[in-house]
Structure 1
Amino acid sequence: MLIKNREILLEVSNPKTREIRRRMLDLLEIALQSINVSELLSKSMIFNKIPNFDDYNNIYVLGFGKASGGMAEQIEKILGATNITDGIVIVPKIIKQTINVQKIKILEADHPIPSRTNIEASNHLINVIKEIPKKNSLIFILISGGGSALLTLPYEGIKLEDISNLTELLLNCGADIKEINIVRKHIGKFKGGKLVKKLYPAKIISFLISDVGKYPPEFIASGPTYPDQSTYQNAMDILKKYSILEQTPTSIIDNFKKGIRGEIPENPSENDPCFSKTENIIVGNLKNACKAVYDYANKHNITPYIYPKFIEGEARDIGKKLIDLANEIYVTVPKFGKPLLFIAGGETTVTVKGSGKGGRCQELILGSIEKLENFKQAVMLAIGTDGIDGNSDAAGAIIDNNSFLIANNMGLKVENYLNNNDSYTFFKELRHNLIFTGPTGTNVSDLVLLLLN
């Protein structure tokens, strides 16, 4: 079982509520099992035509991301450790101890704010790249969400503190995945296709676990193996849009200005020959989790509905909108006496104004708690599929239609906790609501489930 505190989450007095919570936790387990990276990678290597290893003198494995450690473990089993010339994979510190490999080196780094450890790990990867004979080598690259921060090597003149400061500004200003990635692509030596440029003419096969939903896969980990159509001007415009230009370190602004003037080249575009020997394969994404939940619900007397859009926007507001959408479906679509399961996924944003603890999934649920009280029987949960939500140790949170009343009786004021971005503390005091999984070793963005009975 991936949910570590399942029994605590079922400690509610109402038997009907307890049963609906149990169903929801079963569905969540199914979702997390469906995005197990070992199984996804094995299936992908079977269904996709992988080159004959005998045609190459050397086989290398490179990787970075929250799910890349699990992929490294599996690809070493498939290839055989003795057949791998060398390999290096960078993962978050909290994940390293769970990975069991022989030949591939696992290095740890910080996420989401890069540190000196990230620079050191990235330099190790650069050193391996320099040793690779570019002709007649086959390179597998394992990429997943979080890879952009883990693989950090800024341009000359840009300090680590500058990267860290900009990362914090971007994460807190309300910018979406696409915008954050466009900026990141123009401050590092690997992003925006530049990793492929360094490896050409080697044959590259990259396996990717997608956490970017509706966006093209070039935004996974800031697209180190994809052509880049964005420009330095685009990056500068994003800083202006969110009014963080003046707070952005001067070294980064100067670098953008050089790019705009043409003094440093733009990232390689789709016409660059370096991409002619690169194949990118999506191993898994949010659809895997949503479909697994849908199929399971269908077989267990529940009417499932998958919301077709990738959810985005301010976390505290999105949950309420999803409840309205689910209710509209609930009252208009025939269910033949079955409960309705509303399934959604995406990545909301939190504009941080307070100093509290939590994450976008917990804030989404806290923002929904009062509206859910309007239903006789309802349970809602949101979880980061990587098992880590924001600056907390929780994966997400779960509430039911009684939660708001209980909070009121305890004197917990929702608005106060929202204003301080302190959803974790709210749910910790409310009890029976924070979901703990620990790092799941995968990452396909966030999952929201809402059951109306």
Structure 2
Amino acid sequence: MQIGVRQPRVRALLARLLEAGLHAVDPAAAVRRHVRRAGIRLHVGRQRHDLREYSRVVAVGAGKASARMGMALEGALGDRLVGGLVVVKYGHAAPTKTIEVVEAAHPVPDQAGRRAAARLLALAGSLTPNDLLFVLLSGGASSLLPAPAPGLSLRDKQQATRLLLRSGATIQEINTVRTHLSAIKGGRLAASTPARVVSLILSDVIGDDLGTIGSGPTAPDPTTYKEACMVLRRYRLWQAVPTRVRSHLLDGRRGMHADTPKPGSRLFRRVQNQLIGNNSQAVEAVARAAKQAGLRPLILSSTLTGEATGAAREFGAIAREIASSGRPVARPACIIAGGELTVTVRGNGTGGRAQEMALAAALEIAGLPNVWIAAFGTDGTDGPTDVAGAVVDGQTVAHAARAGLNIASALRRNDAYPFFKKLDRHITSGPTGTNVNDLYLLIAL
């Protein structure tokens, strides 16, 4: 991991903390903790399965961590796993033996994802009630499994997705729309197969709502066509989305399309949705590592939401309070938060929510000595960039001025990436193989 901090001690400390968080949510280890085989007995969480009852065991899935999840499942099931297919973001593949790994685009879906989703649905549909289907889900699954509903094209979904991602809508709101434009999301994957379904889920969603993670392909969906229409109107996107999207949602609202399977449906009696990891585990691991390093850790939240600039103001206020009064915790301190921030895109720059938060935080802590704020995407990619995040300190504003950079201007353009690249303040990890939202750290020494 490369961290753009000049002080070797602080650079090593940040690496130690972030790597501790990643280790705690390693997807392969999470699968091994929750799936155990003892001969013909298979334990998944608290449920038991007799493998003699199943003719075939197959695995499908999608998400940035799904390949590593697949590797661990192969190890747990051995020769009982006869095949499978998972879809990962480009660059996030891992070496599997039985499960085929396909790469596709994220966050805007592409034709590779569409073809993979069609193959995945066909495989699930070919199974029988005597088969067992594992579904491996992690962050990114929604974009990686584009299966447009009848009458819609991939281009329609791409345009709608781009507009939603730039609008400032929450992931729950975005997925409400995407679910109602899809043939696979919102419980429809479970409905497509007669097999017994066991989903292993690594959460990248605040509150771990199973219907939101990957748009819940094996979970009941409480949202409706009406709510999908309301989201587009709330963010003034109704006239901007393709005509076929509007028509499809309106027809669904009139009852012309069957809605997604709802809570209480008999369908889900043969579905086990097993959560295997989340952001809270990463946050707690960072806190333990901070304490071991001699810092006083304080977990602020593992459910941080809202605009990135707003979170930056909160972190800045805490940093100033620590500097002036030693509250809420005295130096050496480590304030930790996890969650998923949003950015309402108004400019045409390049960046991501973690870099945007760090950029805004630089203004808030300007002049404070021995204070650093780091923002890090646990999947190793922040927005459409090749970095995981960025780190700033009390001297970042001064360094930027000497380099001819204007932070306020970069924020207006949503252009954090080139700013941090010029200052060498990025955090670069490459694909981490996991995805549980973001980590935000404030260190005061």
Aligned-partner SS, 2:13: helix
Counterpart in the other structure of 2:49: 51
Distance in 2 between residues matched to 1:84 and 1:309, nearest whole Å:
35
Distance in 1 between residues matched to 2:86 and 2:393, nearest whole Å:
41
Is 1:451 the counterpart of 2:416 in the alignment? no
2:113 aligns with one of 118, 124, 127? 118
Distance in 1 between residues matched to 2:261 and 2:319, nearest whole Å:
43
Cα–Cα, structure 1 residues 225 and 24, in superposed 2: closer, same or farther, change >3 Å?
same
Deviation at 1:49, TM superposition (A): 3.3
Query: Pairwise mapping of residues 69-218 of structure 1 onto structure 2 (< 5 A)?
Result: 69-80=67-78, 82-96=79-93, 99-133=94-128, 135-200=129-194, 202-214=195-207, 216-218=209-211
Cα–Cα, structure 1 residues 214 and 324, in superposed 2: closer, same or farther, change >3 Å?
farther
Aligned residue type for 2:401: N
Deviation at 1:360, TM superposition (A): 0.8
Preserved CA contact (<8 Å) 2:320 2:365 = no
Distance in 1 between residues matched to 2:114 and 2:189, nearest whole Å:
15
Counterpart in the other structure of 1:438: 430
Deviation at 1:89, TM superposition (A): 0.8
Distance in 2 between residues matched to 1:333 and 1:413, nearest whole Å:
31
Preserved CA contact (<8 Å) 1:178 1:215 = no
Aligned-partner SS, 2:35: helix
- TM-score, with structure 2 as normaliser: 0.94
Aligned residue type for 1:59: V
Preserved CA contact (<8 Å) 1:92 1:110 = yes
Deviation at 1:408, TM superposition (A): 1.3
Aligned-partner SS, 1:43: helix
Aligned-partner SS, 2:212: helix
Preserved CA contact (<8 Å) 1:166 1:248 = yes
CA deviation digits over 1:204-239, x for unaligned, max 9? Answer: 110000000225221000011111111100000000
Preserved CA contact (<8 Å) 1:142 1:208 = yes
Aligned residue type for 1:377: N
Deviation at 1:141, TM superposition (A): 0.6
Preserved CA contact (<8 Å) 1:366 1:418 = yes
Distance in 1 between residues matched to 2:415 and 2:291, nearest whole Å:
36
Is 1:423 the counterpart of 2:416 in the alignment? yes
Cα–Cα, structure 1 residues 309 and 386, in superposed 2: closer, same or farther, change >3 Å?
closer
Cα–Cα, structure 1 residues 50 and 100, in superposed 2: closer, same or farther, change >3 Å?
farther
Is 1:22 the counterpart of 2:12 in the alignment? yes
Distance in 2 between residues matched to 1:381 and 1:409, nearest whole Å:
22
Cα–Cα, structure 1 residues 329 and 140, in superposed 2: closer, same or farther, change >3 Å?
farther
Cα–Cα, structure 1 residues 350 and 333, in superposed 2: closer, same or farther, change >3 Å?
closer
- TM-score, with structure 1 as normaliser: 0.93
5+ residue gaps, structure 1, are none
Counterpart in the other structure of 1:350: 343
Deviation at 1:102, TM superposition (A): 1.6
CA deviation digits over 1:171-229, x for unaligned, max 9? Answer: 001101110011111000011111111123x2111000000022522100001111111
Deviation at 1:338, TM superposition (A): 4.2
Cα–Cα, structure 1 residues 28 and 142, in superposed 2: closer, same or farther, change >3 Å?
same
Aligned residue type for 1:441: G
5+ residue gaps, structure 2, are 37-44
Aligned residue type for 2:119: H
2:213 aligns with one of 220, 223, 240? 220
Aligned residue type for 1:256: L
Aligned-partner SS, 1:85: strand
Deviation at 1:20, TM superposition (A): 2.8
Counterpart in the other structure of 2:40: none
Deviation at 1:38, TM superposition (A): 0.8
Counterpart in the other structure of 2:297: 304
Preserved CA contact (<8 Å) 1:145 1:443 = yes
Aligned-partner SS, 2:252: helix
Deviation at 1:310, TM superposition (A): 1.5
**CA RMSD, aligned part only?**
1.6
